[in-house]
Structure 1
Amino acid sequence: MKARAVTLAFCTMLAASCTTTPQVSFDADPNANFSHFRTYSWAYTSAPQGTNPLLSQRVKSSIDSALAARGYTQADPGDFAIGFTLGARNRVEVSSLGAYGPYYRPWGGWGGGFNQVDVRNVTDGTLTIDIYDTATKAAVWNGQATQQVTTDQIPQEKVDIAVNAVLAKFPPPPAGAK
């Protein structure tokens, strides 16, 4: 019984930890030359319409810090321009623990059990960062992070985690490199 409680607690902690790590994806132009990128500028200076301007400031500050830590400097114009968008999507998450929920009936037999179903509304927040080559004005890189968020204020620490997770994929490895 004690082993079952420890296993259940571990699975709960594992499931909770999965929701705090953003899922990251990226796409890059295979013909783009990222090796000459040393400076950057912002594709736009004001917060996109419809977004929280304070959250936009936190994201912009986090991107500035992440790029500075990687040796990029801000210039006007830069070698590349950077922009970002923020989004949120609500979804319903349904999970079932089976006919008896978390309880085990070792005596077996017939009898009515119960089916424990957990239904909850969750919000997935998405941060998308786009990078454009200022010489060609073409999009060369796109990165995206998605994770569950609350509708309350998103603290700087969570913004930094998402920004660093996305920018960890920039610049992409050269073609043919592993």
Structure 2
Amino acid sequence: MGQIRKVMIFVLSVFVVGCATNAAKVDFDRNTEIETIHYKTFAWLTKGKIMAPPADINPVMKVRVDDAIEEAFIAKGYKLIDDPEQADFTISYTVGSRDKIKVNSYPATYNTGFGWGRGYYGGRGYYGSVHMGTETSVRQYTEGKLAIDVYDVKTHQPVWHGWATKRLTSDDKETPSVAIRDIVSQVVNSFN
């Protein structure tokens, strides 16, 4: 009996930690027709660096993202050059955010032991009239998205598209440089 209890506590702990973390969701798509193993140099696709900037972009945040992307590719061993025509690949990015609402609705007895609390069967047995109230929680949050694109200079073809989405927390808003560098690093690390 003690072993089962330990396993249940462990599983519950893993579940709670998994729900509590607010990690970015990172993914990518790659053009397998183009080999990237020979890449050594990169440049920005355009002088503006960002592709189609949002109308309300914060110019200070833009500079942070520009710098973080450059630093991440340099940290992977690529050399930044000024002339896009002389580079092995070019890069660009897009950013955005949207306000979202998450609504959860649970039976009122959910919080008293996974629905088996008092009143689960309406207090009338299995076949009685069941009228159970619900508890609803509404949370509003902002989800940010960053996408980085890599283009092959010789073929003028897209090679790689990496992106991250993340629920923005108050910590992210208070220390944006840390959050930006972390997310950019995660996205660029998936490029090979």
- Paired residues of 1:101 and 1:114 also in contact (CA < 8 A): no
Q: Which of residues 96, 103, 125 in structure 2 aligns to 1:87?
A: 96
1:57 partner letter: V
2:111 partner letter: P
Q: 5 Å matches for 1:91-130?
A: 91-104=100-113, 105=117, 110-111=122-123, 114-130=133-149
Q: Which sections of structure 2, spanning at least 5 residues, go unmatched? A: 1-5, 124-130
Determine the structure 2 residue equivalent to 1:160: 181
- Tell me which structure has the larger Cα radius of gyration: 2
Determine the structure 2 residue equivalent to 1:73: 79
| Cα separation, 2, equivalents of 1:109 and 1:12 | 28
Q: Does 1:26 align with 2:28?
A: yes
2:98 partner letter: R
Question: SS of the residue aligned with 2:140?
Answer: strand
Q: Deviation of residue 127 (structure 1)?
A: 0.2
Determine the structure 2 residue equivalent to 1:141: 160
- Supply the RMSD in Å over aligned alpha carbons: 2.9
Moved more, 149-158 or 46-55: 149-158
- Paired residues of 1:32 and 1:140 also in contact (CA < 8 A): yes
| Cα separation, 2, equivalents of 1:100 and 1:140 | 52
Superimposed CA distance per residue, residues 25-76 of structure 1 (whole angstroms, 9 cap, x where no aligned partner): 2111111120121011111233535222111111111112211211111113
Determine the structure 2 residue equivalent to 1:53: 59
1:156 partner letter: S
Q: 5 Å matches for 1:10-21?
A: 11-17=15-21, 20-21=22-23
Count of residues in correspondence between the two structures: 167
| Cα separation, 2, equivalents of 1:127 and 1:40 | 19
Question: Larger helix proportion, structure 1 or 2?
Answer: 2
| Cα separation, 2, equivalents of 1:107 and 1:121 | 31
| Cα separation, 1, equivalents of 2:140 and 2:45 | 35
Normalised by the length of structure 1, the TM-score is 0.79
Normalised by the length of structure 2, the TM-score is 0.73
| Cα separation, 1, equivalents of 2:175 and 2:17 | 22
Q: Percent identity?
A: 30
Q: Deviation of residue 107 (structure 1)?
A: 8.3
| Cα separation, 1, equivalents of 2:174 and 2:153 | 34
Q: Deviation of residue 110 (structure 1)?
A: 3.5
Superimposed CA distance per residue, residues 74-118 of structure 1 (whole angstroms, 9 cap, x where no aligned partner): 113321111111011222211123332422436866457542111
Determine the structure 2 residue equivalent to 1:175: none
Shift in alpha-carbon separation, 1:12–1:94, aligned structure 2, 3 A:
farther
1:63 partner letter: I
